[in-house]
Amino acid sequence: MLAEIRRTVVAFRAQTGETGDVYIRLQISRGGGAIGLDTALADRPEFVLLVQPCPAVSPDKLRDGLRLSVATSLRRNPAESLNPAWKTGNYLNNLLCLREARARGADEVVILNLAGEVTEAAVSNIGFVRDGAVVTPPLTAGILHGITRAFLLQQIAPAAGVPAREEAVRPEDFAGMQECFLLSSTKDVSAVAAIDDARFQMEAGSVTARLKAAFGDFARSYAAAHPELSI
């Protein structure tokens, strides 16, 4: 599959002239066959590779921070129904929650679980800073096992000298948080300025800024150590 990804990206660069970082999505399906829910109806599994320039947070959002809003009409689907830890193409829950937040003028959404705890954003994990330490919802809250989130907890925060822990967070806890940020492969560590009426610090020397710089150092070091992954 890595060879297939490499071949597709090379073709994309040749066709478009794009030389910067690219976003790659691998989608696997059960394949074609007769209409029906039974997976045995499919003849063979298939995959599609999607490649595009890596989306970037706009300079003004990097400077001023993202604005989020808590979804109130829907909650995160529980693990007993459709486990959010599964990386599937079923984004209906995320989409509807994001649409509600965007209708209120927010950039992203904060989705709660059935217990009223913070889970994640539509396509990003979320973290907070309280008294100099990172606090992020645990996997048991019902979230995707984010790659950037794992790097943050295991390598980036320790390298930056920032304590980090998993802890249940509720909207009423926002007032006690000094900072907030989103985590994803395309956004890395992106500062959040507000969640509805809760405001967060955006200073240049903030913990979030230190974590973002540490993530950049980590990414460059990892890329240098793995030249075989460059395309």
Residue 228 is assigned to a structural domain of this protein: no
Q: Are residues 171 and 115 in the same domain?
A: yes
Share of the chain above pLDDT 90, in %: 81
Residue 229 is assigned to a structural domain of this protein: no
Q: Are residues 180 and 115 in the same domain?
A: yes
Asked if pLDDT for residue 229 goes beyond 90, the answer is no
Share of the chain above pLDDT 70, in %: 100
Asked if pLDDT for residue 4 goes beyond 80, the answer is yes
Count of domains in the chain?
Answer: 2
The DSSP bridge pattern shows strands 188-195 and 66-70 to be parallel
pLDDT of residue 56: 82
Least confident segment among 30-34, 46-50, 101-105: 30-34
User: What's 135's domain CATH number?
Assistant: 3.20.10.10
How many degrees, rounded to 5, is the angle at CA 180 between CA 167 and CA 136? 20
Alpha carbons 19 and 170: distance in angstroms, whole number:
42
Six token digits for residue 126: 């979320």
pLDDT digits (tens, 9 = 90+) for 66-87: 999 999 999 999 999 989 999 8
Q: What share of the chain is helix, strand, coil (3-state, %, to 5)?
A: 35, 25, 40
Q: Are residues 142 and 167 in the same domain?
A: yes
Alpha carbons 101 and 86: distance in angstroms, whole number:
23
Average pLDDT over residues 25-39: 91
Residue 226 is assigned to a structural domain of this protein: no
Alpha carbons 75 and 111: distance in angstroms, whole number:
6
Q: Are residues 143 and 165 in the same domain?
A: yes
Residue 214 is assigned to a structural domain of this protein: yes
Q: Are residues 43 and 96 in the same domain?
A: no
Query: Bigger pLDDT: 61 or 135?
Result: 135
Q: Are residues 99 and 132 in the same domain?
A: yes
Q: Are residues 34 and 94 in the same domain?
A: no
Computed over every residue of the chain, the mean pLDDT equals 94
Domain that holds residue 162: 59-220
Q: Are residues 47 and 136 in the same domain?
A: no
pLDDT digits (tens, 9 = 90+) for 139-166: 999 999 999 999 999 999 999 999 999 9
